[in-house]
Chains A and B, each alone.
Chain A
Amino acid sequence: MGEEVKKKRPAPDPNSAKYKLGQIAAKAYSDCMEAKARGEMVGWCASNFPVEIPETLGLSVCYPENQAAAIAARGGGERMCSESEGDGYSNDLCAYARVSLAYMKLKDAPEQNMPMPDFVLCCNNICNCMIKWYENIARELDIPMIMIDIPFNPDYEVSDAETEYIRAQFWGAIHQLEKITGKKWSDERYKEVMEISGRSSRAWLAATSCAKYLPSPFNGFDLLNHMAVMVTARGKKEAAEAMETLLKEYEDNHEKGDSTYHGEEKYRIMFEGIACWPWLRVTSTGLKSRGINMVTTIYADAFGFIYDDFDGMCRAYARVPNAMNLELSRDKRIKLCKDNHVEGLLVHTNRSCKLWSGFMAEMSRQIGRACDIPVVSFDGDQADPRNFSEAQYDTRVQGLMEIMEANKGGRSDGNR
């Protein structure tokens, strides 16, 4: 595959969404560093922990998954994973956990540093791996662990019993944090945070749904970067504003026939799974060189935390991607594929993530049938570069493209 032609980058426009989002993501770390330096307590927080809680309490938290992704994207994945393996952690464990456990020990990673935690906020709505990983951190560093258990929901709807169980834990976590940190919960502040988080979510959903336009006004790889802000800062006003800017840019692009996907968009696919951070360039170029735009991912749906009250919030956190049963997960993806005129599904079978990959084969077969699109998978890993083969990726993407090409021939009415 040819090298990407390096273009001279113009100076970033400080009013652009990209610039603003980048600033917010960077500030998430520097804010935490400063808080720690001021002597405040700082937490490590799971990506789908209800951020409304630390945000309302005014606590500084940083996100190990986000840090691990940043370390991996900047080339440190293998080094950190090997460090944990040297301590006896199996290389079959989630690479985010291995990177994070190594960081806990080394307390330094030039790719992305963050302050050491005074408490951990764990929520297992994305996986139970999270529990084990945070248990080890809490015990090793001898710090409190706040554990919100949101079980995998085998049903399509969230039951009253589950909502009640989650609600009780949310209050439990709030009171535990008040005790640990001395901060106080305020209902008014919570209302504000809820509104801001809803604003960010609505703008994010609207921005990502701009992929409905032909061609799409954005390159889907953008979403993989921007979503960091949805994870870490959706309850902050700046985030809501930046997301609204993003939406506006995408709408403007559409008006002007412009896109952050440069080149002709010949095919549109959905990408399933977490990005292969160590191989981001390779995975993106493999698509772009073939005129394939990855227009949507489940992240486009995952951060729609829109609700009106506390119970609504409880239910929203029980409906995040890895907490949903196959049917609900499938239907959400089918909707994304149909709304965004997707012509093929590329599945990342992620060695790190047992839950995400555990029923993906059956689910993607069902999506393929429902949308009448080809489905192709490749083996990879979100943070451990050793579990990815460029040659296999290339062959699989080529295969996907050929089927999409053949399908276009058969659908000369332009029906896509």
Chain B
Amino acid sequence: MAIDELLAQFHEIAASPRKQLGKYLAQGRKVVACAPVYTPEEIIHSMGLVPMGVWGAEMEVHEAKKYYPAFICSIMQTVLELGITGKFEGISAIVIPSLCDSLKSLGQNWKYAVPGIPFIPMTYPQNRKPDYGVKFTKASYEKVISDLEIATGAKFSEILLAESNRIYNEHNAAMREFAETAADHAITAVQRSDVFKSAWFMLKEEHTALVRQLTAELKKAPADEGKVRVVTSGILADSPGLLEIFDKNGIKIVADDVAQESRQYRTDVPEKPNPLDALAQKFADMDNCSVLYDRDKKRVGFIVDLAQKHNAAGVIVLMTKFCDPEEFDYVPIKRACDAAGLRNVNIEVDCQMVNYEQAGTMLQAFKEMG
């Protein structure tokens, strides 16, 4: 397939999750929603269920206001709104981790706001690296497995989990290779986002196949030169209205530290005799993320390195309004970027964003800083 055709496919899938949901349901598959930021998708996948990411939508909030006050991030608000207004109909369950304070309350509200779709909590430890932390992660996974069995009737098997772990690792590798290739070849910010976003609405083996084709084609395409190279950082960077401004200003995303994008693909499931132990170890190995405890804030140095390694002029922080984990990290990130001579800007984003004027002005100023 030609690049354009492939990109059109990614776009189609990224823009129509409900169509994907309908497709899987029509195939007789059961679908499980996965809330941000991390859920054990491998487990869901291994049980023959289709994990689909739910990261909210660009929409107005009405019904969710009965549950959430205005100062909760719009991802939580709109996930709840979509649930209340029946947009997840057909989904068998939702897995919600408690990695930030707003996520903790999403599950509690969900039980009453969307009683038709069972809430499955995933409780991760923050002290995830010591043995006792890994053990607790595993116990939480076991709880998720039994909740999934109850909600869907599906059965768990270690053999199938080992296979899913492998499929997810392959997908991780494909996504990392794509991101590196996209750094130097012609692809717009919107198209790049489509590739990442579509991953949430497809079985990973299907997505891997498509991404590999695209990466192979991209490698043949000419190098993309003369752009202002940047690293994006934040929870979400999927707003087409915002990303178009990047493209209009000749700003190219050469790497990202975005939760919905590359943060998902940095860590693989290691080799271990027991696949559930291996998956618990994967969580222990994860780092460089605002919702994972890190006394040393390694994430800050990680972002600076990422920018330097990719020859980026700077870092564009896309700040989800009311996201306190990211807001706390922003100050050290800004200081480190300043110290390293990296341009940086903080643009507040929101699912109800209708006006990109201010973002446009900021990005233009960013471009002209050089």
Q: Which A positions have Cβ atoms within 8 angstroms of B?
A: 87-90, 92-94, 97, 124, 127-129, 131-133, 135-136, 138-139, 145, 147-149, 151-155, 159, 161-162, 164-165, 168-169, 172, 325-326, 349, 351, 354-355, 357-363
Q: What CA separation (Å) do A325 and B329 show in the bound complex?
A: 28
Q: Name the distance in Å between A300's Cβ and chain B's nearest Cβ.
A: 22
Query: B108–A128 contact, CB under 8 A?
Result: no
Q: What CA separation (Å) do A62 and B136 show in the bound complex?
A: 31
| B271 at interface by CB-CB < 8 Å | no
Q: Name the distance in Å between B346's Cβ and chain A's nearest Cβ.
A: 8
Sorted from nearest, which 8 A-B pairs have the closest CB atoms?
A: A358-B105, A132-B328, A154-B121, A168-B132, A161-B139, A149-B126, A355-B101, A165-B136
The digit string for B314-331, where 1 denotes a CB below 8 A from any CB of A, is 000001011011011111
Q: Name the distance in Å between A194's Cβ and chain B's nearest Cβ.
A: 23
Q: Which B positions have Cβ atoms within 8 angstroms of A?
A: 66-69, 71-72, 98-102, 104-109, 111-113, 121, 123-127, 130, 132-133, 135-136, 139-140, 290-291, 293-297, 319, 321-322, 324-325, 327-332, 334, 346
Query: A354–B71 contact, CB under 8 A?
Result: yes
Q: What CA separation (Å) do A159 and B98 show in the bound complex?
A: 16
A residues near B66, Cβ cutoff 8 Å: 361-362
Residue of B whose beta carbon sits closest to that of A172: B130
A residues near B72, Cβ cutoff 8 Å: 354, 358
Tell me which of A87, A93, A131 has the highest count of chain B C-beta atoms within 10 A of its own C-beta: A131
Tell me which of B66, B105, B123 has the highest count of chain A C-beta atoms within 10 A of its own C-beta: B105
> Which of B67, B68, B108, B296 is within 8 Å of A139, CB to CB?
B296
> Which of B294, B295, B296, B321 is within 8 Å of A92, CB to CB?
B321
Q: Name the distance in Å between B110's Cβ and chain A's nearest Cβ.
A: 10
Q: Name the distance in Å between A350's Cβ and chain B's nearest Cβ.
A: 9
Q: What CA separation (Å) do A139 and B329 show in the bound complex?
A: 11
B residues near A169, Cβ cutoff 8 Å: 127, 132
Tally A-B pairs: CB < 8 A.
Answer: 150
- A361-B327 CB under 8 A given contacts A136-B332, A151-B98, A151-B125: no
Q: What CA separation (Å) do A357 and B106 show in the bound complex?
A: 12
Query: B126–A90 contact, CB under 8 A?
Result: no
10 contacts between A and B (CB under 8 A): A93-B328, A135-B295, A151-B124, A152-B98, A154-B121, A169-B127, A325-B108, A355-B104, A358-B101, A362-B113
- A90-B136 CB under 8 A given contacts A128-B101, A354-B105: no
Q: What CA separation (Å) do A282 and B82 show in the bound complex?
A: 40
Residue of A whose beta carbon sits closest to that of B105: A358
Q: What CA separation (Å) do A351 and B322 show in the bound complex?
A: 11
Query: A93–B324 contact, CB under 8 A?
Result: yes
> Which of A92, A161, A359 is within 8 Å of B327, CB to CB?
A92
A residues near B121, Cβ cutoff 8 Å: 154-155
Q: What CA separation (Å) do A22 and B163 show in the bound complex?
A: 63
> Which of B112, B125, B332 is within 8 Å of A165, CB to CB?
B125
A residues near B328, Cβ cutoff 8 Å: 89, 93, 97, 129, 132-133, 135-136
Query: B293–A168 contact, CB under 8 A?
Result: no
Q: What CA separation (Å) do A131 and B107 show in the bound complex?
A: 21
Q: What CA separation (Å) do A148 and B139 show in the bound complex?
A: 18
Tell me which of B104, B112, B290, B329 has the highest count of chain A C-beta atoms within 10 A of its own C-beta: B104
- A90-B327 CB under 8 A given contacts A149-B127, A154-B98, A351-B71: yes
- A129-B324 CB under 8 A given contacts A139-B296, A147-B293: yes
Q: Name the distance in Å between A310's Cβ and chain B's nearest Cβ.
A: 15
A residues near B297, Cβ cutoff 8 Å: 135-136, 139
Q: Name the distance in Å between B319's Cβ and chain A's nearest Cβ.
A: 8
Residue of B whose beta carbon sits closest to that of A126: B101
> Which of A88, A165, A358 is within 8 Å of B102, CB to CB?
A358
Query: A355–B105 contact, CB under 8 A?
Result: yes
Q: Name the distance in Å between A115's Cβ and chain B's nearest Cβ.
A: 21
Q: What CA separation (Å) do A332 and B153 show in the bound complex?
A: 34
Q: What CA separation (Å) do A325 and B105 show in the bound complex?
A: 9
Query: A89–B331 contact, CB under 8 A?
Result: yes
Q: What CA separation (Å) do A145 and B67 show in the bound complex?
A: 35
Q: Name the distance in Å between B369's Cβ and chain A's nearest Cβ.
A: 17
- A89-B109 CB under 8 A given contacts A131-B126, A151-B124, A361-B66: no
Q: What CA separation (Å) do A169 and B127 show in the bound complex?
A: 8
Q: What CA separation (Å) do A228 and B125 show in the bound complex?
A: 29
Query: B108–A90 contact, CB under 8 A?
Result: no
Query: A128–B100 contact, CB under 8 A?
Result: yes
Query: B135–A127 contact, CB under 8 A?
Result: no
A residues near B111, Cβ cutoff 8 Å: 326
Residue of B whose beta carbon sits closest to that of A357: B69
Query: A354–B130 contact, CB under 8 A?
Result: no
Residue of A whose beta carbon sits closest to that of B112: A362
A residues near B112, Cβ cutoff 8 Å: 326, 362
Q: Name the distance in Å between A176's Cβ and chain B's nearest Cβ.
A: 11
Query: B324–A362 contact, CB under 8 A?
Result: no
Query: B329–A168 contact, CB under 8 A?
Result: no
Q: What CA separation (Å) do A127 and B109 show in the bound complex?
A: 17
Known: A89-B328, A133-B328. 7 other contacts (CB 8 A): A92-B327, A97-B328, A128-B100, A128-B291, A135-B294, A161-B140, A358-B106
